[in-house]
A and B are shown apart, each in its own frame.
Chain A
Amino acid sequence: MKFIQNKTYVIKCKNFSSKEMKRLSELGFNYNTEIKLLAVSLLKGSIIFLVRGSAVCLTHKLVKQLDLMML
């Protein structure tokens, strides 16, 4: 998955069962939601997304679980 700043991605994950994914869905990261990539850290360990008007920072491991698709 290539992370490009200011690109919009759509969430294709259908499994929000784990505790972390549950929290993500509460923060607005839902299936088919569009999110914009704002910043990536130097080692790509953490990524900032714009979701429902707010900037939220996530670890790369969680981003992978979101099953993103670039628009």
Chain B
Amino acid sequence: MNEFLVVGNPNSGKTTLFNELTKSNEHTGNWHGVTIDEKKAKIINSDYLLIDLPGTYSLSSFSFEEQITIDKVLTSNSSIINLCDINTLKRNLYLTLQLIEAEKDFRVVLNLMKSSSDLIDYKMLSSLLNRAVLIYDADKCSIEDDLLNSVNFSNTTQHLESIPYISNFLKLKDVLIENAKNINISPIFCAIKYAENDEKIISKLNLSTEQVRQANEICLENNLSIDTISQMRFNYIDELLEKCSYKNKKITGYSKLDKLLLNKYFALPMFMLIVCLIYVITFKSLGAFLSNYLNHFFNSFVIDTSTKFLANVHASKLLTDFICNGLLNGITAVLSFLPQVTLLYFCIAILEESGYLSRIAFLFEDIFRFIGLSGKSIFTFILSFGCSTTAMLTSRNLEDENSRVKTVMLSPYMTCSAKVPLFTILTAAFFLGQPILIFALYLLGIIVALIVSFFLNKGKLKSNKNNFILELPNYRIATAKSLINSTLNNSLAFVSKVGSVLLLSLIVIWFLQNFDFAFRYTNSNADTNSILQCFSKVLAPLFVPLGFGNWGAATALLTGVVAKEVIVSTIAMLNGIIPTESGNNYIISSLFLSTSCVSFNAASAISFMVFALLYTPCISSISVMKSEIGLKRTLKSIVIQFVIAYILSFITYKLFSLDKIWLIVLSIIAVITIVFIAYCSYVKHSKCAHCNKKCSINCCK
């Protein structure tokens, strides 16, 4: 099957074009690095396969995702669709020129991005580039037919050599020509890459010492370096655009709104305001209202009706218990939080589509560089509030490997949407549903992640490079279509998880809870030891110091490793109360009863939330983490998370239970820590001015 590769600068609209041509539903966003791997799909009503590749500024790789694109472009003979944003054409044509240098068969597609096609004489551009140039307007017309029928231009080599700056590389080309042919890459391209000191191409060329000597001499004679070459390309682009009457004089990536949102003093308060707004919408106003309404519907309609129906048909106690207690209680307990999860995803989608996400990266670079992260890590962290499993993959756009590893290791500390049901129920039960407490838990996750990063940065994972480079995208009013698509996809993933992982877990948990080792039905409320009780009672003493040493809580945490949504379902199922009143009060009231399998008081509830926030991530996260950073680091991360969760949960419990002795002990530890940090800071700042050693001031004297 014939292939088309979609290649272009980051954020030029490649995935939007891909979605339109293949009727796919791939994730899009107004920030750099949304696509992190190649995606394939068939163009509708054709025999062509379309491959969407991660964005790149040039054919020199800078990050893992860019390397994927470059390898594919250089090794494949497929036709290329070079998508260019018409507003930033100057920068986009830089990659186009490199495709010409590589003598690739490609078409240029100008993405209008809400601008007018009058900005440029695209027919003139087509003749100057010796390639078909097409106009693409995502809002109006389909480009499909034009794209498939566009003509391949011939004499690409002749055209290439007619470009003025190429003449500088003809001598160098002659030196490398045989080696370039051996690796099936354009000789001119190889010559330019040699002058740019591209290590990957140079090693592939396998040049002899004599060839290296000749090539270096030519580079020196003609003053060929990366800077002069890029200047040559930009000068040629300026010439091209002048000939094509390019009229765009607008600044891209900076607008009047940025004077406020990126202001030195207002930027952080504005960010906090936006975050607070998201929390109020999700947890206090609309989200809470919709969630209560859905909960009422589930209880009064789904569970009540099912219970009555099963009673009417004289179903056995076992069957009634399995369906109502085992499945419906667990599933509806999680599904009733769907509105809050959906609203959270909707808000994240707005951040992604608006272009504000890149501004947040700018704001956080200040803080993040101190702890060995990149400003771009914020992309992964913010997406982790939805689901850390998918968010971890976005870390691939980080250039520094150690920053990338740390970002992956820290993303599970962010409160993902799966933890929302647990926090909401426990907060409603013990803290009058205060959203400020949920906000504090979100904040705790972030603060712990930053502290862990600080310490990781002191060890083997120290980030040596601080190379934050980010092109800011224009602000964009998110279209209803893209917002609905993004929110719907994520919410459906949440629902499908409930219908698959959660359902299966509930069946297994119900079985283990209701049967003993002789496979006799024990009835969960009776005082007989089920298989689950036997296992959990071994584990429960571990959590006694944290305040929730009952076997039910231990079980809920254990099942939470499968997926965090399962924690609430397990609690609902273990407490086994058939609802008799509306709302989720039946779960809440069961948490106060000491006879329930899972019961808390205020101190143990908050301790449980802190533990659930920070302990071992879910299986799918662990699996992605392993593929991204390897088994050893994954295991290390899991152990660190468990230890931190245990310690912080213990401290929280002691603080909230107002245990005087522990308060005194913790205060002493806090004072010692502060004094130690202050001392370290003093020593660091009092380096000797002469030998720069970490010792007393001016030791050399």
- Could you list which residues of chain A lie within 8 angstroms of chain B, going by C-beta atoms? 14, 16-17, 19-28, 30-31, 38-46, 48, 50, 52-59, 61-62
Contact = CB atoms under 8 A, between A and B. Distances in A.
A38 B178 CA distance: 48
B91 interface: yes
B375 interface: yes
B469 A45 contact: no
Interface stretch (B259-267, B299-307, B433-441, B558-566): B259-267
Interface in B466-489: 466-472
A40 B472 CA distance: 14
B267 A41 contact: yes
A13 B57 CA distance: 21
27 contacts: A16-B230, A17-B197, A22-B60, A22-B196, A26-B58, A27-B471, A30-B230, A31-B231, A39-B262, A39-B263, A41-B362, A42-B265, A42-B268, A42-B366, A43-B367, A45-B366, A53-B250, A54-B252, A54-B253, A55-B254, A56-B253, A56-B471, A57-B361, A57-B468, A57-B472, A59-B369, A59-B469
Given A16-B225, A46-B362, 18 more contacts: A14-B227, A23-B60, A23-B467, A25-B227, A31-B227, A39-B362, A41-B264, A41-B366, A42-B268, A42-B366, A50-B251, A53-B250, A54-B251, A55-B251, A58-B469, A59-B365, A59-B466, A59-B469
Interface of B: 57-58, 60, 62, 88, 90-91, 94, 196-197, 225-227, 230-231, 234, 248-254, 258, 262-265, 267-268, 358, 361-363, 365-367, 369, 375, 399, 465-472
Given A25-B227, A27-B469, A41-B363, A50 B254 contact: yes
Contacts of A38: 254, 258, 262
Contacts of A52: 90-91, 234
A23 B465 CA distance: 14
Contact of B469 (A24, A31, A43): A24
A41 B367 CA distance: 10
A59 B468 contact: yes
B254 A40 contact: no
Contacts of B470: 56-57
Nearest to B196: A22
B468 A54 contact: no
Given A20-B469, A46-B365, A61-B466, A26 B264 contact: no
Given A48-B472, A54-B252, A56-B471, A42 B369 contact: no
Nearest to A55: B253
Contacts of B91: 27-28, 52-54
A21 B225 CA distance: 12
Contacts of B258: 38-39, 55
Contacts of A24: 469
Contacts of B465: 20
Nearest to B85: A54
Q: Rank and list the top 8 A-B pairs by shortest CB-CB distance, nearest first.
A: A55-B253, A45-B366, A55-B254, A59-B468, A46-B365, A16-B227, A20-B467, A43-B366
Nearest to A26: B58
B277 to A, nearest CB: 22
B472 A30 contact: no
A25 B227 CA distance: 6
Contact of A30 (B227, B249, B254, B263): B227
B57 A26 contact: yes
Contact of B90 (A20, A53, A62): A53
A22 B226 contact: yes
B365 A45 contact: yes
Nearest to B88: A54
B365 A41 contact: yes
B356 to A, nearest CB: 13
Contacts of A54: 88, 90-91, 251-253, 471-472
A40 B362 CA distance: 9
Most chain A CB within 10 A, of B248, B252, B267, B469, is at B469
Contacts of A55: 251-254, 258, 471-472
Contacts of A43: 366-367
A16 B253 CA distance: 25
Contacts of B264: 39-42
Nearest to B249: A53
A21 to B, nearest CB: 8
Contacts of B225: 16-17
Contacts of B234: 28, 30, 52
Given A26-B94, A40-B264, A53 B88 contact: yes
A57 B469 contact: yes
A50 B252 CA distance: 9
B618 to A, nearest CB: 34
- Which of A26, A31, A42, A52 has the most chain B CB atoms inside 10 A of its CB? A26
Contacts of A39: 254, 258, 262-264, 362
A56 B254 CA distance: 9
A42 B468 contact: no
Contact of A57 (B90, B248, B251, B365): B365
A53 B469 contact: no
Contacts of A22: 60, 196, 226
Contacts of A57: 358, 361-362, 365, 375, 468-472
B2 to A, nearest CB: 31
Contact of A45 (B196, B227, B369, B471): B369
B226 A56 contact: no
A59 B399 CA distance: 13
A5 B163 CA distance: 38
A40 to B, nearest CB: 6
A40 B267 CA distance: 11
Contacts of B466: 59, 61-62
B231 A23 contact: no
